[in-house]
């Protein structure tokens, strides 16, 4: 990534069913789960607008109309374009569809999960991506105790060397926010199956080839995918 290519566009993956959350939120897509008096997704977009994002592409699927009717084509001065999955494609398939459908204005594209609060510093992410010169740079969170997420291992140069199993102790995890080289990643995804996981099916082998960098971000982290963590969201976001 070149210094002049600080991204102003972002893809948010907002098409999941939210099966684990359905006992408490069932009538809206998971990113639209209410937190306080507004949807979780609006908090994410507020953060990224503050970081310089001016155009969002929202990858939608389940109950897509709820998202489109709430946000329309503009939010807080940023434009919104929708890329809809007619059938579930997984995170990898959804990313490939967005890269197929969109004419991205810059080489670098920011990608994030729509159900995770991780207020990454875009400036730091870009600096780390520039120094490591990898097509994908992951935002990494250090967890003191981890019994839910798969860990990652990082080599001396900051590149991710492997993705590991869940650990009960402290470790580094994938925070679900990526800076990608759109053209290079699009080319690599072309050979993947119709439905696949970007995190589970693609990234481990890509990292093994030395193509995945890291950006350790000392920021609060919350995934609202399960009821207990969703219930924490209001107080968490107010104090984040």
Confidence of residue 1 (pLDDT cuts 50, 70, 90): very low
Best CA proximity match to 224, nearest among 36, 10, 9: 36
Residue 22: per-residue pLDDT: 66
Residue 166: the pLDDT is: 60
With left for phi above 0 and alpha for psi between -120 and 50, is residue 18 left, alpha or beta? left
In the chain, the percentage of residues whose pLDDT exceeds 70 is: 90
| pLDDT above 90 coverage of the chain, percent | 67
More confident position, 191 or 106: 191
Distance CA(51)–CA(112), nearest Å, equals: 14
Mean pLDDT of the chain, nearest integer: 89
Residue-wise burial string across 47-56, b where 16 or more C-beta atoms lie within 10 A, e elsewhere: bbbebebebb
Tell me the residue length of the chain: 240
Residue 16 reports pLDDT greater than 60: yes
- Binned at pLDDT 50, 70 and 90, residue 116 comes out as very high
Q: Is 190 helix (H, G, I), strand (E, B) or coil?
A: coil
Domain ranges of the chain: 7-239
As to burial, measured by CB atoms within 10 angstroms (0-12 exposed, 13-18 middle, 19+ buried), residue 4 is: exposed
Is the confidence at residue 2, as pLDDT, over 60? no
Q: Which candidate, 113, 86, 112, places its Cα nearest to that of 225?
A: 113
The residue with greater pLDDT, 206 or 229, is: 206
Q: How would residue 138 be classed by pLDDT, with cut points 50, 70 and 90?
A: very high
Higher pLDDT, 36 or 239: 36
Q: Is the pLDDT of residue 238 over 70?
A: yes
What are the two backbone dihedrals, phi and then psi, of residue 146, each rounded to the nearest 5 degrees? -135, 115
Percent helix, strand and coil across the chain, each rounded to 5? 35, 30, 35
pLDDT in tens, 187-224: 999 999 999 999 999 999 999 999 999 999 999 999 98
Q: What is the pTM of this model?
A: 0.92
Q: To 10 degrees, the CA torsion angle through 25, 95, 85, 62?
A: 0
Distance CA 56, CA 40 (A): 16
pLDDT at 146 (0 to 100): 67
Q: Residue 225's pLDDT band (boundaries 50, 70, 90)?
A: confident
Among 28-42, 144-158, 206-220, 221-235, where is mean pLDDT lowest?
144-158
Residue 217, pLDDT score: 96
Residue 75 has pLDDT above 90, yes or no: yes
pLDDT of residue 56: 97
pLDDT tens profile 160-183: 999 876 666 678 999 999 999 999
Superfamily of domain 7-239: Spore Coat Polysaccharide Biosynthesis Protein SpsA; Chain A (3.90.550.10)
CA-nearest of 166, 178, 226 to 202 is 178
Q: Is the dihedral of CA 114, 115, 121, 124 positive or negative?
A: negative
């Amino acid at each position: 990534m070149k210094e002049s290519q600080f991204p102003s566009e972002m893809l948010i993956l907002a098409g999941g069913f939210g099966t684990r959350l359905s006992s408490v939120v069932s009538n809206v897509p998971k990113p639209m789960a209410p937190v306080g008096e507004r949807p979780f997704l609006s908090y994410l977009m507020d953060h990224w607008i503050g970081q310089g994002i001016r155009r969002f592409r929202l990858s939608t699927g389940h109950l897509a109309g709820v998202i489109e009717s709430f946000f329309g084509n503009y939010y807080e001065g940023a434009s919104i374009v929708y890329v809809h999955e007619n059938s579930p494609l997984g995170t990898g398939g959804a990313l490939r569809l967005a890269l197929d459908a969109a004419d991205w204005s810059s080489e670098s594209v920011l990608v994030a999960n729509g159900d995770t609060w991780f207020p990454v510093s875009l400036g730091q992410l870009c600096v780390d991506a520039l120094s490591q010169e990898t097509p994908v740079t992951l935002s990494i969170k250090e967890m003191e105790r981890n019994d839910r997420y798969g860990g990652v291992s990082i080599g001396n140069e900051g590149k991710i060397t492997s993705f590991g199993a869940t650990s009960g102790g402290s470790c580094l995890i994938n925070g679900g926010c990526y800076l990608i080289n759109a053209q290079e990643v699009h080319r690599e995804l072309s050979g993947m199956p119709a439905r696949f996981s970007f995190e589970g099916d693609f990234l481990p082998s890509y990292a093994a080839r030395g193509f995945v960098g890291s950006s350790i971000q000392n920021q609060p982290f919350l995934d609202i995918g399960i009821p207990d963590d969703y219930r924490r969201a209001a107080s968490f976001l107010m104090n984040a």
